[in-house]
Amino acid sequence: MIRVALLYPELLGTYGDGGNALVLVERLRRRGIAAQVEVVGINDEVPDASIYVVGGGEDGPQRLATDLLRASTFPARVRDGARVLAVCAGLQILGTHFAVEGNDTFAGLGLVAASSSRGTQRGVGELGVRVGNDVLVGFENHGGVTALGPGLAPLGRVVRGRGNDGALDGYQTDTIWATYAHGPVLAMNPWWCDDILTRVVGEELAPLPSVADELHRERRRALGL
């Protein structure tokens, strides 16, 4: 059984972030692989899971979620190799620190060498990121600028929008995938979802044609990519 843990959707669910957990699970089930979403509420212990999904949220909820995660088993699990998909605020939370109201700095979980400060203006709009031979498409809405420390690879190169800093978006390690494309980014990018699932399941997955492929093609066309 593949368990997808959706962390604190009450705090980190501003943009339909629960969609990522749904898409991960449904793309396994349709291939006959047992999978389920475990919703982890703010009063729950962080359970054992095959992958954790950390979504986006506003400043106050982002701080609260960071403190709750800091006090939980989550950091130790990630250091031990637990897999994580982090989008938007989630991307910042896993890093060393991030900016909050009034340009104060707030300590992140320090799980990756990514530090986020406040940009001069918000990055709002369509985001396109070249990842390997494909293009990740999505929507971003954030005020952060994220710098990656040495040894931390970006997810890809920005071809539309801002991402981390106008040039690169997100980061990835053997076990962590992060992007500023917020909300249900996996819904628009079934190929990326399947890349992640291949790592989670540990085997090649059968092709799964669906209307999501059409959606991805349409969004690429819409961005001229």
Interaction of residue 152 with another protein, rule CB under 8 A? no
Q: Based on CB atoms, which residue is closest to another protein, 13 or 154?
A: 13
Per rule CB under 8 A, is residue 71 in the interface with another protein? no
Q: Does 210 bind another protein (CB under 8 A)?
A: yes
Nearer to another protein, 144 or 148 (CB): 144
Among candidates 191, 135, 125, 133, which has minimal Cα distance to 158? 135
DSSP 102: G
Q: Beta strand pairing status for 176-179 and 171-172?
A: antiparallel
Nearer to another protein, 59 or 195 (CB): 59
> What residues between 168 and 197 interact with another protein by CB under 8 A?
182-184, 187-188
User: Using the rule CB under 8 A, is 163 a contact of another protein?
Assistant: no
Q: Does 34 bind another protein (CB under 8 A)?
A: no
| Site for another protein contains 42 (CB under 8 A) | yes
Report the alpha-carbon angle 172-76-200, nearest 5.
45
Pick one of 10, 79, 157, 198: the residue that binds another protein (CB under 8 A).
10
CB of 56 to another protein, least distance (A): 9
Q: Which conformational region is residue 149 in: left (phi greater than 0), alpha (psi within -120 to 50 degrees), or beta?
A: beta
DSSP for 113-167?
SEEEEEEEEEEEEEEEEEETTEEEEEEEEEEEEEEEPTT-B-SEEEEES-TTTSS
**87 vs 158 by CB, closer to another protein:** 87
Strands (DSSP E) found in the chain: 2-7, 35-40, 51-54, 83-87, 97-100, 104-107, 114-131, 134-148, 156-160, 168-169, 171-172, 176-179
Candidates 4, 5, 7, 19; binder of another protein (CB under 8 A) is 19
Tell me, residue by residue from 99 to 128, as one string, x for binding to another protein by CB under 8 A and - for no binding.
-------------------------xxx--
Size of the site for another protein (CB under 8 A): 35
Q: How far is the CB of 20 from another protein (least distance, A)?
A: 8
Which residues are CB-contacts of 71 (< 8 A; sequence separation ≥ 6)?
A: none
CA of 145: how far to CAs of 36, 119, 188, 197, in Å?
Answer: 34, 5, 24, 28
188 in Cβ contact with 137 (< 8 Å): yes
Instruction: Single out the residue of 23, 35, 84, 89 in contact with another protein (rule: CB under 8 A).
Output: 23
Q: Which residues of this protein are in contact with another protein, per CB under 8 A?
A: 10-11, 13-19, 22-23, 26, 42-43, 58, 60-61, 63-64, 124-126, 139, 141, 182-184, 187-188, 210-212, 214-215, 218
